[in-house]
Structure 1
Amino acid sequence: MRPRPTRRRGTLTATAATLVALCAAQTLGAASAATAAPTPAPAPVSASASAAATKAAVTSAQDRAAQDIARSLGDAAWSRSLSAATLKSGGAEVPVAEKASGALKSRLTAADHDIAAAKGLDSKTGSLLRLRLGAPSMRAALSAGATPWVAAAVADDDAATITAYDSQGRAHRLDARKAPAQPVYVVDIDSTKALAAGLDVMKQELTKAGVESAQPTPTHTMAATAGFWTTKITAVHLNDDEEPWIKGDAEIYTLVSGFGQDGKVRVDPVDMPYLDSDGTVYRPNQILVNWSNYKYNLADAVMMEEDGSTNYRDLAKAIAAVLLTITDQGAYIPLVNAILDAMPDDWWTDDPDYVDSWYTLAQQSRGTLYGARGNGYMTVEPYFVEQF
Structure 2
Amino acid sequence: MSVRKQLRTTLCGLALAGIVVTTTQGPAAAAPTVDGGAKASPVAAAEDTAARSLARSLGDAGWRAEVDRAVAGGTGTGLKALADKSRTRAATSLAVDVAAADRSVRAAKGLAADAGGLLTVTLTGAVGSHRAPLVAVAPSDDEAAAITAYDTNGRARTLDAARTPDVPVYVVGIDGEKAVEAGVKVLERELAAAGVATAAPSAPAATAATGYWTSRITSVRLNDDMETWIKGDAEIFSIVSGFGLDGKVRVDTVTHPYLNDEGTTYYPNQILVNWSQYKYNLADVVMMEDDGDTNYSALAKAIAAALLTIADLGAYIPLVDPVVDAIPSSFWTDDADFVDAWYTLARETTGTRDGAGANGRFTFDRYWVSAL
TM-score, length-scaled by structure 2: 0.89
Partner of residue 88, structure 2:
none
Quick check: 75-84 or 314-323, which moved more?
A: 75-84
Alignment of 1:312-327 (within 5 A): 312-327=296-311
CA-to-partner distance for each residue in 1:180-215, whole Å, 9 max, x for gaps? 222111001000000000000000000000011653
* Residue in 2 that maps onto 1:215: 204
- Which residue of the partner structure matches residue 386 of structure 1? 370
2:177 maps to a residue whose letter is T
Does the 8 A contact of 2:302 with 2:328 survive in 1?
no
Partner of 1:126: 116
Alpha-carbon separation, structure 1, partners of 2:337 and 2:160: 23
Find 2:81's aligned residue among 94, 98, 123. 98
Separation (CA, whole Å) in 1 of partners of 2:347 and 2:190: 28
User: Which residue is equivalent to 2:87?
Assistant: none
Check conservation: 1:291, 1:363, Cα contact below 8 A: yes
Shift of 1:259: 0.6
Matched, 1:372 2:356: yes
Whole-angstrom CA distance in 2 between matches of 1:107 and 1:328 = 51
Q: The residue matched to 2:94 in structure 1 has which SS?
A: helix
* Contact persistence 1:358–1:372 (CA under 8 A): yes
Q: What is the distance in 2 between the residues matched to 1:326 and 1:303?
A: 21
Structure 1 residues 331 and 246, CA gap change in structure 2 (3 angstroms): same
2:321 equivalent to 1:337: yes
SS where residue 365 of structure 1 aligns?
Answer: coil
Cα separation, 1, equivalents of 2:332 and 2:46: 24
SS of 2:340's equivalent? strand
Give, in whole Å, the separation in 1 of the partners of 2:302 and 2:278.
22
Give the aligned residue type for 2:152: S
Tell me the secondary structure at the aligned position of residue 75 of structure 2.
coil
The number of residue pairs the alignment matches comes to 356
CA contact (8 A) 1:347 1:354 kept: no
Deviations 1:353-373 (A, max 9, x none): 101000111110011001011
Per-residue deviation, 1:352: 6.5
Task: Please point out which of 152, 155, 162 is paired with 1:167.
Answer: 152
Contact between 1:211 and 1:266, CA under 8 Å: does it hold in 2?
yes
Structure 1 or 2: larger helix share?
1
| Whole-angstrom CA distance in 2 between matches of 1:238 and 1:297 | 26
What is the CA–CA distance in structure 1 between the aligned matches of 2:204 and 2:245, rounded to whole Å? 8
Matching residue of 1:245: 229
Which residue does 2:8 correspond to in 1?
Answer: 9
CA distance in 1: counterparts of 2:308 and 2:286, whole angstroms: 18
Which letter maps to 2:321?
N
Contact 1:51–1:344, Cα closer than 8 Å, also in 2:
no
1:253·1:269 contact (CA, 8 Å) conserved in 2? yes
Q: Secondary structure at the match of 1:134?
A: strand
Shift of residue 175 of structure 1?
1.0
1:351–1:216 distance in 2 versus 1, CA, 3 Å = closer
CA positional deviation for 1:49: 2.4
Structure 1 residue 55: deviation in Å?
6.2
Equivalent residues of 1:305, 1:353 under 8 A apart: yes
How many angstroms apart in 1 are the aligned matches of 2:317 and 2:118? Answer: 38
TM-score, length-scaled by structure 1: 0.85
State the alpha-carbon separation in 2 of the partners of residues 348 and 9 from structure 1. 17
Contact 1:46 1:318 in 2 (8 A): no
Tell me: higher relative CO, structure 1 or 2? Use CA pairs within 8 A at least 6 residues apart.
1
Task: Work out whether 1:148 is the aligned partner of 2:136.
Answer: no
Q: How far apart are 1:381 and its partner, in Å?
A: 1.2
The 1:331/1:120 distance shift into structure 2, 3 A limit, reads same
SS in 2 for 1:158: coil
Q: Structure 2: how far apart are the matches of 1:348 and 1:155? A: 9
- Which residue does the alignment assign to 1:57? 42
Question: For the aligned residues, what is the CA RMSD?
Answer: 2.6
Superposition map of 1:1-388 within 5 A: 5=4, 7-12=6-11, 17=13, 20=14, 24=16, 28=18, 31=19, 44-45=25-26, 49-50=30-31, 56-87=41-72, 89=73, 91-100=74-83, 101-135=91-125, 138-141=126-129, 144=130, 146-212=131-197, 215-218=204-207, 222-223=208-209, 226-240=210-224, 244-346=228-330, 353-388=337-372
How far 1:73 moved relative to its partner?
Answer: 0.8
